[in-house]
Chain A
Amino acid sequence: MTKGLWRLGDLVDRVDGEDGRAVVMVGQDVLVVSPVAAAILDLLIAGEQSTASLAESLEAAFGAPVDATSEALTTQVVQSLLEAGLVVAC
Protein backbone atom coordinates (compact mmCIF):
# COMPACT_ATOMS: atom_id res chain seq x y z
CA MET A 1 0.00 0.00 0.00
CA THR A 2 2.92 2.36 0.63
CA LYS A 3 3.38 2.73 -3.12
CA GLY A 4 -0.32 3.41 -3.58
CA LEU A 5 -1.79 6.38 -5.30
CA TRP A 6 -4.74 8.08 -3.67
CA ARG A 7 -7.43 10.54 -4.52
CA LEU A 8 -10.19 12.21 -2.57
CA GLY A 9 -13.41 10.26 -2.05
CA ASP A 10 -16.82 11.76 -2.64
CA LEU A 11 -17.10 14.08 0.31
CA VAL A 12 -20.53 15.61 0.74
CA ASP A 13 -19.35 18.40 3.01
CA ARG A 14 -16.63 19.40 5.41
CA VAL A 15 -16.33 21.88 8.26
CA ASP A 16 -12.95 22.73 9.78
CA GLY A 17 -12.33 23.32 13.45
CA GLU A 18 -9.92 25.74 15.02
CA ASP A 19 -7.75 22.91 16.33
CA GLY A 20 -7.00 21.46 12.89
CA ARG A 21 -9.58 18.71 13.11
CA ALA A 22 -12.45 18.59 10.67
CA VAL A 23 -15.90 17.08 10.55
CA VAL A 24 -16.69 15.47 7.24
CA MET A 25 -19.66 13.81 5.63
CA VAL A 26 -19.24 10.95 3.20
CA GLY A 27 -22.37 9.22 2.03
CA GLN A 28 -24.68 9.38 5.04
CA ASP A 29 -21.82 9.09 7.55
CA VAL A 30 -20.47 12.01 9.57
CA LEU A 31 -16.99 11.68 11.02
CA VAL A 32 -14.52 13.78 12.95
CA VAL A 33 -11.01 13.46 11.56
CA SER A 34 -7.66 14.32 13.13
CA PRO A 35 -5.51 17.25 12.02
CA VAL A 36 -3.22 14.88 10.12
CA ALA A 37 -6.16 13.23 8.37
CA ALA A 38 -7.62 16.65 7.57
CA ALA A 39 -4.27 17.68 6.11
CA ILE A 40 -4.24 14.59 3.89
CA LEU A 41 -7.70 15.47 2.63
CA ASP A 42 -6.44 19.00 1.93
CA LEU A 43 -3.49 17.67 -0.03
CA LEU A 44 -5.72 15.44 -2.12
CA ILE A 45 -7.95 18.34 -3.14
CA ALA A 46 -5.23 19.32 -5.59
CA GLY A 47 -5.28 15.86 -7.14
CA GLU A 48 -4.06 12.32 -6.66
CA GLN A 49 -0.93 11.73 -4.65
CA SER A 50 1.26 8.85 -3.59
CA THR A 51 1.80 7.79 0.00
CA ALA A 52 5.41 8.98 -0.23
CA SER A 53 4.36 12.39 -1.48
CA LEU A 54 1.74 12.73 1.24
CA ALA A 55 4.27 11.66 3.88
CA GLU A 56 6.75 14.26 2.69
CA SER A 57 4.17 17.05 2.84
CA LEU A 58 2.93 15.95 6.27
CA GLU A 59 6.47 15.85 7.65
CA ALA A 60 7.01 19.38 6.38
CA ALA A 61 3.80 20.53 8.06
CA PHE A 62 3.87 18.60 11.34
CA GLY A 63 7.53 17.65 11.73
CA ALA A 64 9.05 14.18 11.75
CA PRO A 65 7.30 11.61 13.94
CA VAL A 66 9.20 10.28 16.94
CA ASP A 67 8.34 6.60 17.03
CA ALA A 68 7.84 5.74 13.39
CA THR A 69 8.60 6.87 9.88
CA SER A 70 6.42 9.47 8.22
CA GLU A 71 5.52 7.01 5.51
CA ALA A 72 4.43 4.35 8.01
CA LEU A 73 2.23 6.80 9.87
CA THR A 74 0.83 8.20 6.64
CA THR A 75 0.01 4.68 5.51
CA GLN A 76 -1.85 4.11 8.76
CA VAL A 77 -3.93 7.27 8.46
CA VAL A 78 -4.62 6.75 4.76
CA GLN A 79 -5.82 3.23 5.56
CA SER A 80 -8.37 4.58 8.04
CA LEU A 81 -9.49 7.21 5.53
CA LEU A 82 -9.78 4.51 2.91
CA GLU A 83 -11.98 2.40 5.16
CA ALA A 84 -14.20 5.41 5.80
CA GLY A 85 -14.49 6.15 2.09
CA LEU A 86 -12.81 9.51 2.44
CA VAL A 87 -10.00 8.54 0.07
CA VAL A 88 -10.00 6.00 -2.71
CA ALA A 89 -7.22 4.14 -4.45
CA CYS A 90 -6.47 5.26 -7.98
Chain B
Amino acid sequence: MSAPIQIDVLGVTIEVVPTGKEADELGTLLSRAWDRCLVSEVSTGPADLVVHAVVGRRTPKKLRGEVVAVAPSVEALMEVVTQTVTVEAITRRAGDLVMLHACALAHPETGAVKVFVGPSGMGKTTIARTLGGRWAYLTDETAAFAEDGELIAYPKPLSVITEERHKEQVSPSDLGLLASVQPGDVDGLYLLDRRDDVAQVTLEPVPLVEAVALLAEHTSYLGALERPLHRVAEVITAGGGLHRVTYADAGDLASLLNGDGKR
Protein backbone atom coordinates (compact mmCIF):
# COMPACT_ATOMS: atom_id res chain seq x y z
CA MET B 1 0.00 0.00 0.00
CA SER B 2 1.32 3.42 -0.98
CA ALA B 3 1.04 6.42 1.34
CA PRO B 4 -2.47 7.87 1.23
CA ILE B 5 -3.01 11.39 0.00
CA GLN B 6 -5.43 13.88 1.48
CA ILE B 7 -7.23 16.25 -0.83
CA ASP B 8 -9.67 19.07 -0.28
CA VAL B 9 -12.71 18.68 -2.49
CA LEU B 10 -15.24 21.49 -2.05
CA GLY B 11 -14.31 21.75 1.59
CA VAL B 12 -14.51 18.01 2.20
CA THR B 13 -11.22 16.42 3.20
CA ILE B 14 -10.88 13.11 1.43
CA GLU B 15 -8.15 10.58 2.02
CA VAL B 16 -7.42 8.55 -1.08
CA VAL B 17 -5.74 5.25 -0.30
CA PRO B 18 -4.00 3.56 -3.23
CA THR B 19 -4.30 -0.18 -2.81
CA GLY B 20 -2.97 -3.21 -4.61
CA LYS B 21 0.05 -4.15 -6.67
CA GLU B 22 0.29 -0.83 -8.50
CA ALA B 23 -0.32 1.31 -5.44
CA ASP B 24 3.05 3.05 -5.58
CA GLU B 25 2.62 4.15 -9.18
CA LEU B 26 -0.95 5.17 -8.49
CA GLY B 27 0.06 7.14 -5.41
CA THR B 28 2.67 9.06 -7.37
CA LEU B 29 0.23 9.86 -10.18
CA LEU B 30 -2.52 10.91 -7.77
CA SER B 31 -0.19 13.22 -5.85
CA ARG B 32 0.88 14.86 -9.08
CA ALA B 33 -2.56 15.18 -10.67
CA TRP B 34 -4.19 16.50 -7.49
CA ASP B 35 -1.37 18.84 -6.50
CA ARG B 36 -3.66 21.87 -6.32
CA CYS B 37 -6.06 20.12 -3.94
CA LEU B 38 -3.57 18.41 -1.64
CA VAL B 39 -3.99 19.02 2.04
CA SER B 40 -0.48 19.78 3.30
CA GLU B 41 0.18 16.57 5.29
CA VAL B 42 -1.79 13.44 6.01
CA SER B 43 -1.05 14.07 9.65
CA THR B 44 -3.18 17.22 9.66
CA GLY B 45 -6.09 15.26 11.03
CA PRO B 46 -8.68 12.67 10.20
CA ALA B 47 -10.31 12.96 6.83
CA ASP B 48 -14.04 13.42 6.41
CA LEU B 49 -14.06 10.45 4.08
CA VAL B 50 -11.73 7.68 2.94
CA VAL B 51 -11.79 6.49 -0.67
CA HIS B 52 -9.87 3.32 -1.53
CA ALA B 53 -8.41 3.30 -5.03
CA VAL B 54 -8.00 -0.21 -6.36
CA VAL B 55 -6.62 -1.47 -9.66
CA GLY B 56 -8.67 -4.53 -10.41
CA ARG B 57 -11.88 -5.95 -11.73
CA ARG B 58 -13.95 -5.79 -8.59
CA THR B 59 -14.01 -4.45 -5.08
CA PRO B 60 -11.90 -6.63 -2.75
CA LYS B 61 -13.96 -8.40 -0.10
CA LYS B 62 -12.15 -6.65 2.72
CA LEU B 63 -13.27 -3.26 1.35
CA ARG B 64 -16.95 -4.03 1.00
CA GLY B 65 -18.97 -1.37 2.72
CA GLU B 66 -16.23 1.19 2.13
CA VAL B 67 -16.12 3.86 -0.57
CA VAL B 68 -14.05 2.27 -3.33
CA ALA B 69 -12.91 3.47 -6.74
CA VAL B 70 -12.03 0.47 -8.85
CA ALA B 71 -10.87 0.15 -12.46
CA PRO B 72 -8.83 -2.38 -14.40
CA SER B 73 -5.87 -0.09 -15.11
CA VAL B 74 -4.07 2.75 -13.39
CA GLU B 75 -5.06 5.14 -16.19
CA ALA B 76 -8.73 4.23 -15.96
CA LEU B 77 -8.62 4.35 -12.18
CA MET B 78 -7.32 7.90 -12.20
CA GLU B 79 -10.53 8.97 -13.93
CA VAL B 80 -12.71 6.88 -11.65
CA VAL B 81 -11.04 8.44 -8.60
CA THR B 82 -11.85 11.90 -9.96
CA GLN B 83 -15.47 10.94 -10.52
CA THR B 84 -15.77 9.24 -7.16
CA VAL B 85 -14.32 11.99 -5.00
CA THR B 86 -16.31 14.62 -6.90
CA VAL B 87 -19.59 12.79 -6.47
CA GLU B 88 -18.88 12.04 -2.81
CA ALA B 89 -17.97 15.65 -2.05
CA ILE B 90 -20.96 17.05 -3.91
CA THR B 91 -23.23 14.63 -2.08
CA ARG B 92 -21.79 15.71 1.27
CA ARG B 93 -22.25 19.40 0.50
CA ALA B 94 -25.82 18.91 -0.73
CA GLY B 95 -28.17 21.27 1.07
CA ASP B 96 -25.32 23.59 1.90
CA LEU B 97 -23.67 24.89 -1.26
CA VAL B 98 -25.08 26.08 -4.57
CA MET B 99 -23.04 23.85 -6.88
CA LEU B 100 -23.09 24.90 -10.50
CA HIS B 101 -21.75 22.72 -13.28
CA ALA B 102 -19.18 25.26 -14.38
CA CYS B 103 -15.67 26.35 -15.13
CA ALA B 104 -14.38 29.25 -13.04
CA LEU B 105 -11.33 31.47 -13.47
CA ALA B 106 -10.07 34.31 -11.28
CA HIS B 107 -8.16 37.45 -12.12
CA PRO B 108 -4.61 36.82 -10.86
CA GLU B 109 -4.44 40.09 -8.95
CA THR B 110 -7.96 41.18 -8.05
CA GLY B 111 -9.44 37.70 -7.62
CA ALA B 112 -12.51 38.75 -9.62
CA VAL B 113 -14.17 35.58 -10.85
CA LYS B 114 -15.66 34.60 -14.19
CA VAL B 115 -17.99 31.61 -14.13
CA PHE B 116 -18.88 29.68 -17.29
CA VAL B 117 -21.85 27.38 -16.76
CA GLY B 118 -22.73 24.53 -19.06
CA PRO B 119 -23.29 20.81 -19.40
CA SER B 120 -20.60 18.32 -20.31
CA GLY B 121 -19.39 18.85 -23.85
CA MET B 122 -20.02 22.60 -23.86
CA GLY B 123 -16.33 23.43 -23.50
CA LYS B 124 -15.67 24.04 -19.82
CA THR B 125 -12.39 22.13 -19.71
CA THR B 126 -11.27 23.66 -22.99
CA ILE B 127 -11.98 27.14 -21.64
CA ALA B 128 -9.95 26.36 -18.52
CA ARG B 129 -7.05 25.11 -20.60
CA THR B 130 -7.21 27.96 -23.07
CA LEU B 131 -7.66 30.87 -20.69
CA GLY B 132 -6.16 29.45 -17.51
CA GLY B 133 -2.70 30.69 -18.42
CA ARG B 134 -3.89 34.27 -17.94
CA TRP B 135 -6.54 33.88 -15.28
CA ALA B 136 -6.13 31.58 -12.30
CA TYR B 137 -7.74 28.18 -12.59
CA LEU B 138 -10.41 27.59 -9.96
CA THR B 139 -12.31 24.65 -11.45
CA ASP B 140 -13.51 23.06 -14.67
CA GLU B 141 -16.23 21.06 -12.94
CA THR B 142 -18.14 22.68 -10.11
CA ALA B 143 -18.38 26.31 -9.03
CA ALA B 144 -19.68 26.06 -5.49
CA PHE B 145 -21.11 29.01 -3.59
CA ALA B 146 -21.54 29.20 0.16
CA GLU B 147 -24.51 31.00 1.64
CA ASP B 148 -22.44 34.17 2.10
CA GLY B 149 -21.63 34.13 -1.61
CA GLU B 150 -18.06 32.91 -1.26
CA LEU B 151 -16.91 30.72 -4.13
CA ILE B 152 -15.08 27.58 -3.09
CA ALA B 153 -12.35 26.65 -5.56
CA TYR B 154 -12.06 23.07 -6.77
CA PRO B 155 -8.88 23.00 -8.90
CA LYS B 156 -9.13 19.32 -9.76
CA PRO B 157 -7.09 17.58 -12.45
CA LEU B 158 -8.34 18.21 -15.95
CA SER B 159 -9.50 15.35 -18.09
CA VAL B 160 -7.40 15.52 -21.24
CA ILE B 161 -7.77 13.28 -24.26
CA THR B 162 -4.33 12.06 -25.32
CA GLU B 163 -3.10 11.36 -28.83
CA GLU B 164 -3.91 7.70 -28.20
CA ARG B 165 -7.47 8.84 -27.47
CA HIS B 166 -7.23 7.93 -23.82
CA LYS B 167 -8.57 10.22 -21.15
CA GLU B 168 -5.82 11.30 -18.82
CA GLN B 169 -6.12 13.17 -15.54
CA VAL B 170 -3.60 15.98 -15.76
CA SER B 171 -2.55 18.41 -13.07
CA PRO B 172 -3.41 22.04 -13.81
CA SER B 173 0.23 22.78 -13.00
CA ASP B 174 1.40 20.47 -15.80
CA LEU B 175 -0.92 22.32 -18.19
CA GLY B 176 0.59 25.66 -17.21
CA LEU B 177 -2.57 26.96 -15.57
CA LEU B 178 -2.16 29.75 -13.07
CA ALA B 179 -2.46 28.70 -9.46
CA SER B 180 -5.63 29.59 -7.63
CA VAL B 181 -5.82 32.88 -5.90
CA GLN B 182 -8.31 33.62 -3.16
CA PRO B 183 -11.48 33.99 -5.21
CA GLY B 184 -13.14 37.38 -4.93
CA ASP B 185 -16.54 38.50 -6.09
CA VAL B 186 -18.09 37.01 -9.21
CA ASP B 187 -17.73 39.54 -11.96
CA GLY B 188 -19.24 37.59 -14.83
CA LEU B 189 -21.67 34.70 -14.96
CA TYR B 190 -22.09 33.12 -18.37
CA LEU B 191 -24.23 30.33 -19.74
CA LEU B 192 -22.24 28.61 -22.46
CA ASP B 193 -23.74 28.16 -25.91
CA ARG B 194 -21.02 26.80 -28.17
CA ARG B 195 -21.80 26.64 -31.87
CA ASP B 196 -19.51 25.94 -34.76
CA ASP B 197 -21.24 28.40 -37.06
CA VAL B 198 -20.84 31.68 -35.21
CA ALA B 199 -18.23 34.19 -36.33
CA GLN B 200 -17.95 36.16 -33.12
CA VAL B 201 -18.80 36.06 -29.47
CA THR B 202 -22.22 37.40 -28.62
CA LEU B 203 -23.55 38.19 -25.17
CA GLU B 204 -27.22 38.23 -24.35
CA PRO B 205 -28.54 39.18 -20.91
CA VAL B 206 -30.99 36.64 -19.51
CA PRO B 207 -33.93 37.94 -17.44
CA LEU B 208 -33.83 36.81 -13.83
CA VAL B 209 -36.68 34.30 -13.87
CA GLU B 210 -35.27 32.55 -16.92
CA ALA B 211 -31.77 32.75 -15.52
CA VAL B 212 -32.88 30.99 -12.35
CA ALA B 213 -34.68 28.32 -14.37
CA LEU B 214 -31.67 27.81 -16.64
CA LEU B 215 -29.11 27.62 -13.85
CA ALA B 216 -31.39 25.30 -11.89
CA GLU B 217 -30.80 22.76 -14.65
CA HIS B 218 -27.08 22.95 -13.97
CA THR B 219 -27.21 22.89 -10.18
CA SER B 220 -26.38 19.71 -8.29
CA TYR B 221 -28.81 18.73 -5.54
CA LEU B 222 -30.92 21.85 -6.05
CA GLY B 223 -33.84 20.34 -4.17
CA ALA B 224 -31.72 19.74 -1.09
CA LEU B 225 -31.23 23.47 -0.55
CA GLU B 226 -33.53 25.58 1.57
CA ARG B 227 -35.18 28.23 -0.59
CA PRO B 228 -33.32 26.77 -3.58
CA LEU B 229 -34.47 29.26 -6.19
CA HIS B 230 -33.60 32.18 -3.93
CA ARG B 231 -30.11 30.77 -3.41
CA VAL B 232 -29.61 30.51 -7.18
CA ALA B 233 -31.06 33.98 -7.68
CA GLU B 234 -28.62 35.38 -5.12
CA VAL B 235 -25.69 33.90 -7.05
CA ILE B 236 -27.03 35.43 -10.25
CA THR B 237 -27.66 38.84 -8.74
CA ALA B 238 -24.27 38.94 -7.01
CA GLY B 239 -22.64 38.11 -10.34
CA GLY B 240 -24.30 41.01 -12.10
CA GLY B 241 -26.84 38.83 -13.86
CA LEU B 242 -26.58 35.89 -16.20
CA HIS B 243 -25.47 36.32 -19.80
CA ARG B 244 -25.82 33.70 -22.48
CA VAL B 245 -22.54 33.65 -24.38
CA THR B 246 -22.56 32.23 -27.85
CA TYR B 247 -19.12 31.32 -29.17
CA ALA B 248 -17.27 28.96 -31.42
CA ASP B 249 -13.79 28.84 -30.00
CA ALA B 250 -12.67 29.09 -26.39
CA GLY B 251 -9.93 31.53 -27.37
CA ASP B 252 -12.58 34.01 -28.47
CA LEU B 253 -13.78 34.26 -24.87
CA ALA B 254 -10.53 36.02 -23.95
CA SER B 255 -12.37 39.24 -24.80
CA LEU B 256 -14.45 38.68 -21.68
CA LEU B 257 -11.34 38.69 -19.53
CA ASN B 258 -9.98 42.07 -20.47
CA GLY B 259 -9.25 44.61 -17.77
CA ASP B 260 -8.88 43.92 -14.09
CA GLY B 261 -12.09 41.94 -13.90
CA LYS B 262 -13.87 44.53 -11.82
CA ARG B 263 -17.18 45.84 -12.96
Q: A residues near B, CB below 8 A?
A: 12-19, 21-25, 27-28, 30-32
Contacts and interface: CB of A to CB of B under 8 A. Distances in A.
Interface string B182-224: 0000000000000000000000000111101100110000110
Contacts, number: 51
B216 A25 contact: yes
A17 B209 contact: yes
B56 to A, nearest CB: 36
The secondary-structure label for the interface of chain B is helix
21 contacts: A13-B227, A13-B228, A15-B229, A15-B233, A17-B208, A18-B207, A18-B208, A19-B207, A19-B209, A22-B209, A23-B208, A23-B209, A23-B213, A23-B216, A25-B222, A25-B229, A27-B223, A28-B223, A30-B213, A30-B216, A32-B210
A82 to B, nearest CB: 20
Nearest to B234: A15
The secondary-structure label for the interface of chain A is strand
- Among A12, A25, A31, the most chain B Cβ lie within 10 Å of the Cβ of A25
A21 B207 CA distance: 10
A32 B206 CA distance: 13
A27 to B, nearest CB: 8
- Among B212, B216, B227, the most chain A Cβ lie within 10 Å of the Cβ of B212
Contact of A23 (B223, B227, B229): B229
Give the top 4 A-B pairs by smallest Cβ distance, nearest first: A17-B209, A13-B229, A30-B216, A23-B209
B212 A30 contact: yes
B230 interface: yes
Contacts of A15: 208-209, 212, 229-230, 233
B228 A12 contact: yes
A71 B144 CA distance: 46
A27 B223 CA distance: 8
- Among A17, A18, A31, the most chain B Cβ lie within 10 Å of the Cβ of A17
Contact of B229 (A14, A19, A21): A14
Contacts of A28: 222-223
B35 to A, nearest CB: 37
Contacts of B217: 30
A32 B230 contact: no
